[in-house]
Amino acid sequence: MISLDTTRADRVGIYGAERDITPRLDALADEALLFRRARTPVGNTLLAHASLFTGLTPRAHGAIPLGDGARLPDSARTIAEDLREAGWQTAAFTTHVTWLTPKFGFDQGFEHFDVTRDPASDVLARARAWLDARDPERPYFLFVHLFDVHSDRNTGRPYRAPEASRGLFTDRQPGVARDWESEHVKGTLFLEAVNAGRFELREGERDELLAQYDEGLHGLDNDVGGFLEELRREQPNELWTVVLSDHGEQFQEHGGLLHHSLYEEVLHVPMMFLPPSSEVPAWELPRWLDAPVTLMDVRPTLLALFGLDADRTSYGRDLLPWLEQREPPPRAQALPLAWGDRGMILGDLKLLRSPDEPWELYDLAADPAEQHDLAQEPGMQERIAQLVAQLDALTQGHAELEALLRGADDGGVQLSSEDLEFLSEMGYLQR
């Protein structure tokens, strides 16, 4: 399972990108189950991955990234724990050095856990070394998290790319591309300064930033594509692969940069399941799947695929009967956003709000870009009140589950000065 941090769906070729950004993933998609409407519950790496691993909503698993942070409870079972108890070898290679770490409970179930700030090429090389050294007679679960597409701390241009991909899409016209080495505010901190109103983007600079991002994704695609192509050639009869993202990225579609909002440019993520190459004809692939799904559905679905039972606390659903075409698509399930206080998606209706702002309501089928707020229409306040009441009841139930999972352990995490500096550089703290 490979998580491409900060990768929004519409920048991946098979999801409609107008540029040739991800040719190797697009080629792999010819052998994939492709989820057209996959979403994350939140634009935060810690919360999204905790939901991915456990099948729980952020409010239920209770991890808290900032302030008086909280780790993932030991009693919140992860897919790594499920598989390790079933006799699988388990390893994780992550690149968020504060959140996807043992400190926040992400080592649960992993026999080998590796965390660095290294680029994808180095991380995948270490993952490859682990694969080569494993016991070939036992099944394995390998999780790889890659941070390369995320904006680049406080040095240079906001989005970096490997040398081979740099210049593919960026426009070097004078007055648009800045000399980033001479700017006194750089990288992610520049993007935060734009959000705070301390800087304004020049004409054409929004497109320049998006081009930088696309180049970084192109470089990541090359590394990941090569890694997966090699493994699938070596293990054609046994290798299942999942490729997904924890959240997307904004480029002022709704006014902001980075990934602090809950609009679709942040929540809509790519997700594909690739069965063993030898099984592709039986699955009638490639196949697009149109029912809405979430990161929380991954754990129960994979456990069902491998003949294991998920615990009853999972909010995610087992999608396997649908994937195997034994049953129709699952009914729409309410997706609480963030901790449940920021909104909910129910079918095509999306209710959300920013802190201290009124509720917004969108029909995603008719208005996928979320440009027409239905909350401003006459007579919609009653419908919004109904949705809010439903969300409140759902959130209360998830809060009660979190209290049960947490028990007497408050799970508090003391962030070091290095942690705080890293989070600040990544745009998660205001300086």
User: For 137-146, how does the pLDDT look when each residue is reduced to its tens digit (9 = 90+)?
Assistant: 999 999 999 9
Tokens of 12: 């991946």
Q: How far is CA 337 from CA 196, 263, 312, 348, 366, in A?
A: 24, 10, 21, 14, 21
Helices assigned H by DSSP within 88-239: 120-133, 187-195, 205-234
pLDDT of residue 309: 85
Provide the whole-model pTM: 0.94
349 pairs with which residues across the strands?
Answer: 346, 363
Q: How far is CA 397 from CA 45, 57, 336, 392, in A?
A: 24, 11, 12, 9
Q: How far is CA 54 from CA 60, 115, 311, in A?
A: 10, 20, 10
Tokens of 173: 């016209």
pLDDT of residue 224: 98
pLDDT exceeds 50 at position 239: yes
pLDDT exceeds 50 at position 270: yes
Q: What is the pLDDT of residues 344-384, one digit of tens each?
A: 999 999 999 988 899 999 999 999 999 999 998 998 999 99
Containing 303, the helix (H) or strand (E) segment is: helix 298-305
Containing 166, the helix (H) or strand (E) segment is: none
Q: In terms of DSSP bridges, do strands 2-4 and 241-244 run parallel, antiparallel, or are they unpaired?
A: parallel
How sure is the predictor about 419, in pLDDT bands with cuts at 50, 70 and 90?
low
Q: What is the pLDDT of residues 206-217, one digit of tens each?
A: 999 999 999 999
The SS3 call for residue 161 is coil
CA distance 114 to 144: 10
pLDDT exceeds 80 at position 126: yes
Tokens of 395: 């959130």
Sequence-separated (6 or more) residues with CB below 8 Å from residue 185: 193, 198, 199
Average pLDDT estimate for 9-33: 97
Average pLDDT estimate for 226-239: 96
Show the domains of the chain with their CATH numbers. 2-333+415-425 (3.40.720.10)
Contact in structure between 59 and 262 (CB atoms under 8 Å)? no
How sure is the predictor about 177, in pLDDT bands with cuts at 50, 70 and 90?
confident
156: left (phi over 0), alpha (psi -120 to 50) or beta: left
CA distance 242 to 268: 16
How sure is the predictor about 412, in pLDDT bands with cuts at 50, 70 and 90?
low
- Own/partner contacts of 308-314, CB < 8 Å, gap of 24 or more, are 308/82, 308/83, 308/86, 310/55, 310/82, 311/77, 313/55, 313/56, 313/60, 313/76, 313/77, 313/401, 313/405, 314/54, 314/55, 314/56
How sure is the predictor about 280, in pLDDT bands with cuts at 50, 70 and 90?
very high
Contact in structure between 290 and 309 (CB atoms under 8 Å)? no
- Comparing 33-47, 144-158, 229-243, 274-288, which segment has the lowest mean pLDDT? 144-158
